[in-house]
Copies of this chain bind each other. A is one copy, B any other.
Amino acid sequence: MSLFGFAFKPRRARTAQTARDRLQLLLAHERLGSSSAPDFLPQLQNDLLEVIRKYVAVDDDGVEIVMQREDAMSSLEINIELPSESAPKGAAG
């Protein structure tokens, strides 16, 4: 069962096609027409990556970030390739 159309993009060809787990984070902020709330996704991005790094080893090289802004919706996409040999860390305090 899929989450309302939420699906991984096909694995893209990489120079070194190694076996890797993947982590994908999608964040969308839907603003109402009457809302003048500023876009805070760019700032959130680094904090989210920092949190994820508490659990798994993330190489900067393996991170792809896509941000999109439309009138009423901002979205942030973070795609992370995790070396599959990297066991998740315990949750650091």
Copies per assembly = 2
A–B Cβ pairs within 8 angstroms, 5 of them: A3-B77, A8-B30, A25-B26, A43-B55, A44-B52
How far, in Å, is A92 (CB) from chain B's closest CB? 10
* Residues from chain B with Cβ under 8 Å of A82 in the complex: 37
A15 in the interface, Cβ–Cβ < 8 Å?
A: no
Q: Are B38 and A88 interface neighbours, CB within 8 A?
A: yes
Q: Are A66 and B3 interface neighbours, CB within 8 A?
A: yes
Q: Are B3 and A68 interface neighbours, CB within 8 A?
A: yes
Q: Are A32 and B1 interface neighbours, CB within 8 A?
A: no
Type the 1/0 row for A16-35, where 1 means its CB is closer than 8 Å to any CB of B. 00011111111111111011
